[in-house]
Amino acid sequence: MKLNRRAFVGTGIAAATLSAPMVHAASHGKPKVVVVGGGAGGATAARYLAKDSAGEIDVTLIEPTRSYYTCFFSNLYLGGFWDLENLSHSYGKLASDYGINVVHDWATGVDRDAKTVALAGGGSVPYDRLILSPGIDFVEGSVPGWDLSAQNAMPHAYKGGSQTELLKAQIMAMPEGGTYVMVAPPNPYRCPPGPYERISMVAHQLKMNNPTAKIIIADPKESFSKQALFEEGWQKHYSGMITRIGPDFGGGNVTVDPEAMTVDVDGELIQADVVNVIPAQKAGLICDAAGLTEGNWAPVDGASMVSRLDENIHILGDATNQGDMPKSGFSANSQAKVAAMAVRGALTGSRVFPAKYSNTCWSLIATDDGVKVGAAYEPNEEKIASVSSFVSQTGEDAALRKATYEESIGWYEGITSDMFG
Amino acid sequence: MSKSSGLFISVLGGAALVLGVAYGWTSRDYRAAELAVLTDRLAQLEHSNDDLARRADQAFDLEARLATLEADLAAARQAVEDAKQAASQPVAAVADPVQQPEPDPVIADATGLEFGDPSRGEQVFAQCRSCHQIGQGAEDRIGPHLNGIFGRRAGAHDGFRYSDDMAMMGADGLTWEIETLNAYLENPKALVSRTRMNFAGLDDPQERSDILAYLRQFSASPQNIPEAAPTAQAREVELSPEVLAIVGDTDYGEYLASECKTCHQQDGSDRGIPSITQWPTEDFVVAMHAYKRQIRPHPVMQMMASRLSDEEIAALAAYFAKAE
């Protein structure tokens, strides 16, 4: 690497401004940035690059789906608080208002020497800088008896869209007094409070439509995000409905049978009506295909989200191993802005400032009962480190909880317009 | 089927037709495709029909509500006329509130609204001060100053940039009187749907009547604003002249602002989270320092402000003051 990014940013704004290099060779027209994945990381990075470079950079966004369904807020759809169509977003403005070349195709591999991305539909796209934001895939065999062919019988609903719809339909079709089982994932995974917000929303839905139904969580983790807040809320709103089996009682020792619709928790067989299997997770497949992973995740340098294994590739969001930030849409959006600034600086000589990151995760427990957790982060030599944090308190009054929920709706509108224009 | 998905399918059907011709389909294929298009159109028409029926119902309901409201308004106007004639003097000229601490007993209209206790109102008004100044020397800040608010037409105070909705309501005749201010304070967005005032509303009628009594002191004779009024310039946090004088680096501000925009929408939308676009620089700086020193309570904002230097706050303020 010609330039030590960490030392470079560490010298401060003034030095960064003076020494911002023109790395890009002008031999083949405008510099090209390819972004793989059009979620909270990729769409934001593409939009900021196109917007801030004002035509100086060619931006291509590769994303297989034409309508993006956010994973965040999909639990509210399960609970009946949010419409499916309000989870869906189009890439139209990124193309029409920002001039981004939106390619609806699968990126299947990266030739890091030739600096090209291969597409499932044939052909390849060249890049000067590549940004990968592929989200998660599942670790095969992490829940014995389950694989992707079983995702209709036992949905994960941990990627937005059809799986979310399927799970909702199954919940609504549960027989009176039926049983919903969630197989919760081990750390680290996308959206730490997500499974527990989902439990809250399923409980809300069942309380309205099927109040004698039961919810069982088989959980391999000792503790989980916002645990005190969720448990307080479950006791208050859904008393007697939810049972969580933690690792001490075999919650980590689970086998499923999608044909029989049974879940074996440490030798005890549960006959279920809905089984929501959220498997262990790893970086989106393309990271592995491109040789950018160590273990299950892609290591990055928090100063600019550049891969620790390739100086021309930045990686964002859930797929990364970066340090303290949770895998969340908010985090990916925050990381995208730092990466876009760094890439633009490298390709056009624009000013580069020290990275700052933040995250807030809102969760809805019941009607107008919202809570949140968040932190601010800055990179150091080792990792992206938390510098301050907060979490909602148990026993907060109803007005504050309602305001928190309304704030989360404001955030949803804010981040989706920050992603899609 | 939603309207848009119906349209989408019929567009698909149309595309299938065009493709069908291009790829030399048989006439049977063609008719099948045509049938599909017609079926979709039928579904669309049925949908529009349902929609029209629903809207007709809504229109009927609205007409009925309008009639009720018009009757109420006529009664209220009559009552105001009666009250005016009954009063031998103009309603209490409150030149000096310190010497007239008694709540104003005059019932202002037929809705039974009364002015409450101005000194309690002053305390309630504390939450308004971050945006509104009142009293001697009051100036427009994030919101307009409120001297002479009673009797003022909505959205009509010169030199303040109102939301389009507020300006339109004023042009349509909205004037600030006890009943309109009471309604606005109860639920600002119910009265002026896209007002820029980021305030959820005061549920407690007593708090509203107290605050109205406080505001009214600065309106009864606008030329004679009481000397004894609390100073309009009190800041939430005391900042040194050096801090206030920092000229922000707007480029840096733009980068820092990208973090704000995850929640605060640039176009001024403010559902659940306030808009901060085009705030006056000094108000922005004061607000951020108030969060940083944990004088303002919001935990996310305290966290975000806690790691910003004086220069970074100035940079953000400079950027947002000019953001479009």
Q: What is the mean pLDDT of chain A?
A: 94
Would you state the pLDDT for residue B38? 83
Q: B118-216 and B241-322: same fold?
A: yes
What average pLDDT does this structure show over A61-84? 97
Q: Tell me, what's the pLDDT at B99?
A: 44
Is B314 near chain A, with CB under 8 Å? no
Tell me the CATH number for domain B118-216.
1.10.760.10
Q: Take residue A200 and report the two structure tokens written for it.
A: 């809250």
| CATH architecture type of domain B241-322 | Orthogonal Bundle (1.10)
Contact B214, B111 (CB under 8 A): no
Whether B259 sits inside 8 A of A334 (CB atoms) is yes
Cβ contacts of B264 on chain A, cutoff 8 Å: 414
CA distance A190 to chain B (A): 19
Q: Is the ipTM of this complex over 0.85?
A: no
User: What was the pLDDT predicted at B62?
Assistant: 83
Q: Residue A276: CB partners within 8 Å, gap ≥ 6?
A: A154, A155, A156, A157, A167, A180, A181, A182, A183, A198
Residue tagged 């760094």 (tokens):
A342
Interface contact flag, A341 B267, Cβ < 8 Å = no
3-class SS at A291?
coil
Beta-carbon contacts of B26 under 8 Å, excluding residues fewer than 6 positions away, are none
Q: Mean per-residue pLDDT for A75-104?
A: 97
Whether CATH 3.50.50.60 fits A5-64+105-137+281-354: yes
Q: How confident is the model at residue B60 (pLDDT cuts 50, 70, 90)?
A: confident
Q: What are phi and psi of A59, to 5 degrees?
A: -115, 125
The three-state DSSP-derived secondary structure of A235-287 is: HHHCCCCEEEECHHHCCCCEEEECCCCEEEECCEEEECCEEEECCCEEECHHH
Chain B residue with the nearest C-alpha to that of A350: B251
Question: Tens digit of pLDDT for each residue in A153-195?
Answer: 999 999 999 999 999 999 999 999 999 999 999 999 999 999 9
Residues in chain A closer than 8 A to B251 (CB atoms): 351
| Burial zone of A415 (CB within 10 Å; 0-12 exposed, 13-18 middle, 19+ buried) | buried
Q: Is A288 exposed, middle or buried (0-12, 13-18, 19+ CB in 10 A)?
A: middle
Q: For chain A, report the end-to-end CA distance as a whole number of angstroms.
A: 34
Q: What are the two backbone dihedrals, phi and then psi, of residue B232, each rounded to the nearest 5 degrees? A: -75, -20
Q: Which residues does chain B have within 8 Å of residue A333's beta carbon, measured at their own beta carbons?
A: 262
For A409, nearest residue in chain B (alpha carbons)? B272
- A195 close to A278: Cβ distance less than 8 angstroms: yes
| Cis before A188 (ω within 30) | yes
Q: Is B28 on the interface with A (CB under 8 A)?
A: no
Q: What is the pLDDT of residue B105?
A: 41
- Model pLDDT, residue A24: 46
Residues of chain B contacting A407 with CB distance shorter than 8 Å: 263, 272-273
Model confidence at B111, pLDDT cuts 50, 70, 90, reads low
Residue A259: pLDDT band (50, 70, 90) is very high
| Boundaries of every domain in chain A | 5-64+105-137+281-354, 144-277
pLDDT at A382 over 90: yes
Handedness of CA A404, A329, A207, A267 (dihedral sign): negative
A13-62 pLDDT per residue, tens: 443 444 444 444 444 689 999 999 999 999 999 999 999 999 999 999 99
pLDDT bin (cut points 50, 70, 90) of residue B88 is: low
Q: Is the pLDDT of residue B108 over 70?
A: no
Of the two residues A349 and B161, the one the predictor is more confident about is A349
Is the CB of residue B266 less than 8 Å from the CB of residue A405?
A: no
Give A115's Cβ-side CA count (13 Å radius): 14
Q: How close does chain A come to B232, measured CA to CA in Å? A: 29
Answer yes or no: is pLDDT of A270 > 70: yes
Task: Write the pLDDT tens digit of every residue in B11-43.
Answer: 554 544 444 444 445 566 667 777 888 888 888
Between strands A67-69 and A136-138, the pairing is: unpaired
**Contacts of residue B256 in chain A, CB cutoff 8 Å?**
353, 356
pLDDT tier for residue A6 given thresholds of 50, 70 and 90: very low
Q: Which residue of B has its CA nearest to A404?
A: B272
> Which of A70, A360, A400, A416 best tests the B interface by mutation, with the highest count of B CBs <10 A?
A360
pLDDT value at residue B50: 80
Q: pLDDT exceeding 70 applies to what percent of chain A?
A: 93
pLDDT at B243: 94
Write the CA distances from A88 to A125, A127, A155, A160, B94, integer angstroms: 27, 29, 20, 9, 57
Answer yes or no: do B258 and A48 touch at CB < 8 A: yes
CATH class in words for A144-277: alpha beta
Whether A417 shows a pLDDT value over 50: the answer reads: yes
- CATH topology identical between A5-64+105-137+281-354 and A144-277: yes
| Nearest CB partner across the interface for A360, out of B261, B269, B300 | B300
Q: Which of B11, B261, B263, B291 is the best substitution to test chain A (most A C-beta atoms within 10 A)?
A: B263
Helices in A80-119 by DSSP H: which ranges?
A: 92-96
- Contact call for B273 and A387, based on CB within 8 A: no
pLDDT tens digits along B211-223: 998 998 888 654 4
**Maximum Cα interatomic distance, chain A, rounded to a whole number of Å:** 69
Residue B7 has pLDDT above 60, yes or no: no
Least confident of A261-265, B192-196, B318-322: B192-196
Interchain contact, B272 vs A410, CB within 8 Å? yes
Q: Which H or E element spans position B291?
A: helix B281-292
- Domain assignments of chain B as residue spans, ordered by start: 3-86, 118-216, 241-322
Between chain A and chain B, the number of residue pairs with CB atoms below 8 A apart is 84
Task: Give the model's pLDDT for residue B87.
Answer: 61
B252 vs A contacts (CB less than 8 Å): 13, 351, 353
- Predicted confidence (pLDDT) at residue B98 exceeds the cutoff of 50: no
